[in-house]
Structure 1
Amino acid sequence: MLKDLFLKEVQERGKYDSIQEADRAARVVLALLGAHLVGGERAELAARLPETYSLILLNPLQAAEPLPPDRFVRATAAWIEGATDETAQWDIGAVLSTASDAAGGELTHRILMQLPPGYDLLFGRPTSV
């Protein structure tokens, strides 16, 4: 996926006023996500993202363990100046749903299997119980 198309999609979904806001959200969310994914799934997702974001996904800070979804939201809010948990959740949804569309259903499913329960909602792909 081309960077311009990816950012345009994030901008639309996040209802951002500028591409710069979409880029900021994408960088933070993908860096945090990259810290929670391992192995082939992280590499496969990176291959389906624009190069700028795939490098961010592949070179994250390392996390000791995956954060539960609510802590992922709080961590995102902490990294985005002026963000609240509510705006961070909006940012996460815009970025992860766009990344999920780029990844496709099968890869998204494998990614969600690595993460704690509840991430399906952050990816905009709620699963039935």
Structure 2
Amino acid sequence: MSRTSIILVALCLVASCSAVDESDAVITKYGSQINLDGSYSYEYGTSNNIQAQEAGVGGSYAAGSVQYTAPDGQPIQLQYTADENGYQPRGDHLPTPPPIPVYILRALEYIESHPFTRVQLKK
């Protein structure tokens, strides 16, 4: 076995040993409430530092948050709402779209300032 192969195997062993085994995680906190008017709330926490909570009205609205540590060690904090406008997550870890190019903004401005008159074709 070459020296490079030995180093590669050693690095793989170190990486696999440093992985955290979360299969033994247990629930450390739990609460749930369901009301007659359809509103609800729940919260839970686990021994591996996952925390979550949500409140809402069944089928109409929900708002909540989740906190945990990603496998790469990054702390994740996600807040969200879900309503008639859809699911809206917020968090620093979420990707953001690139800025709209200036030429597109100018084109949209031009279109807005020059309204189009719809032409009805005869049948």
TM-score after normalising by structure 2? 0.21
Q: Flag the structure with larger Rg.
A: 2
Which of the pair is proportionally richer in strand?
A: 2
TM-score (norm 1): 0.21
> In proportion to residue count, which structure has more helix?
1
**Greater relative CO (CA pairs within 8 A, separation 6+):** 1
